[in-house]
Amino acid sequence: MGGGVVPERVIDFGKFGARGVKGHELVARQLDELAGFVVTPVEQRRGLMARLNYLTRSEHARQAARAAGLTVTDRTIRAWREGKRAPSHRNLERIESAYRAVRRQNVARYLLNRLNRQGRGTRVEFHPLNQSQVARPLQRVVEYRHLNVRRWDRIIGAWAADDHAGMDDIWVGEVVQDLGSQWGQYEYVSSIGFSA
């Protein structure tokens, strides 16, 4: 994808009042939404049980949960499930973290197929940053743009690994730069849309 002369990345975003979010963060949020995480908070019994069931439904799931940081014994998990003991706040955080990591790994291949669409890709919409608080002489002309992203492999890989820095580098280096010489205006945006 991209190529040619690469302008500097934005260093002092918001200095003059512009508001927006790094594009890769919005993409990660949308991928999280497509992943279909359990909505009920882990602090509620129903949310806790849904996550524990997901993380212990098979030996493969238990190994993935351990690899993701949930290292308590099977006996402890059984006590939590039976309501004999309650996980500490720290263990609730570990359960949530392990659940999200395992869920991302499990749905990554599905999302990859869905977004790549057998080489046709997925249309991504870039909605410009909000410049309403920027003094008029300092405002840039930035407009809505779209492009068809055909290769999601590295983006989904970084998302599944929860690698924010890697996802930022991939998003800017392999997607945003394809918007042409004005790509630097789309590193930060008000929203990014794509349907899959």
pLDDT in tens, the chain (196 residues): 444 444 455 555 555 555 677 889 999 999 999 999 999 999 999 999 999 999 999 998 999 999 999 999 999 999 999 999 999 999 999 999 999 999 999 999 999 999 999 999 999 998 876 566 656 665 566 777 889 999 999 999 999 999 999 999 999 999 999 988 778 778 888 889 897 7
Domain membership of residue 12 (yes or no) is no
pLDDT in the model for residue 48: 97
pLDDT in the model for residue 15: 55
pLDDT in the model for residue 5: 40
Residue ranges making up the domain that contains 128: 21-34+116-193
Q: Structural domain tally of the chain?
A: 2
The answer on 107 and 40 residing in a single domain is yes
The answer on 189 and 127 residing in a single domain is yes
Domain membership of residue 131 (yes or no) is yes
Beta 191-193 vs 21-22: how paired, if at all? unpaired
Domain membership of residue 13 (yes or no) is no
Domain membership of residue 14 (yes or no) is no
Domain membership of residue 15 (yes or no) is no
The answer on 126 and 89 residing in a single domain is no
pLDDT in the model for residue 186: 82
Long-range pairs for 17-20: beta carbons < 8 A, 24 or more residues apart: 17/131, 17/133, 17/134, 17/135, 18/129, 18/130, 18/131, 18/133, 18/134, 18/188, 19/129, 19/130, 19/132, 19/133, 19/190, 20/128, 20/129, 20/130, 20/188, 20/189, 20/190
Q: What pTM was estimated for this model as a whole?
A: 0.81
The answer on 189 and 120 residing in a single domain is yes
pLDDT in the model for residue 146: 87
Domain membership of residue 47 (yes or no) is yes
pLDDT in the model for residue 43: 97
The answer on 179 and 165 residing in a single domain is yes
pLDDT in the model for residue 104: 95
